[in-house]
Amino acid sequence: MNKTMPTEISLEALIAGDRAEFARLVDAYSSPIYRLGLRMLGNPQDAEDILQNTFLNVLTHISEFEGRSSLATWLYRIAANEALMLIRKKKPEVNLDDAESADEAEDLLPTQFVDWSALPEAQLLSGEGKQTLDQAIQALPESMRLVFLLRDVEGLSIRETAEALNLTETNVKTRLLRARLFLREQLSAYYGERLTREE
């Protein structure tokens, strides 16, 4: 089970139409789903639409949930589909079905070899540093970003991520590796330059 959603929700109560339980579900899951929308679409209005549509879908389809995945994975699946639908609508030029480019394990070779890993977290995440990380995440191609957000930001397992996105575990691992190396490269360019300047 992933680390971000520890709350035990009763599926039986949800299916029976227990509104208090549904409110608990909404409170337990709305922050991560909002974050996912925010990082996938890049603006608060779209993130809110994804959030609302996800839970409206849950209300409509909860009786069809068969429990083959966890409730959290099912919710992420709905949210990811909502995000992808909105991307298709708003950015038709983005090719989300181009699985090949996301799954090819080539062009991974790093070019930055400055070790900035010992810098204190306060320095790494202050002002410009945080902005660099945010921009680097936004610069990831959508199909890689979705894998990265579910696995590394929200803490789903490889298997849960694969289930949520209807991908094979091998696809998830490849996209995750590419995403991590891409972000590392971007951060290394930024911190490497700062370290060199300080020397």
**What residues make contact with other proteins under the rule CB under 8 A?**
19-20, 22-23, 26-27, 30-31, 34-35, 44, 48, 51-52, 55-56, 59, 105, 108-110, 112-117, 121, 124-125, 130, 133, 137, 152-153, 158, 173, 176-177, 180-181, 183-184, 187-188
CB nearer to other proteins: pick between 97 and 106: 106
How would you classify residue 127: left for phi > 0, otherwise alpha for psi between -120 and 50, otherwise beta?
left
Shortest CB 114 distance to other proteins, Å: 7
CB nearer to other proteins: pick between 48 and 69: 48
What count of other Cβ atoms lies within 10 Å of the Cβ of residue 150? 28
CB nearer to other proteins: pick between 20 and 92: 20
CB nearer to other proteins: pick between 97 and 121: 121
Shortest CB 93 distance to other proteins, Å: 27
Report whether 73 contacts 162 (CB < 8 A): no
Q: In whole angstroms, how far apart are CA 197 and each of 15, 43, 93, 131, 135?
A: 60, 34, 39, 19, 22
Q: In whole angstroms, how far apart are CA 141 and each of 7, 94, 99, 147?
A: 32, 9, 11, 10
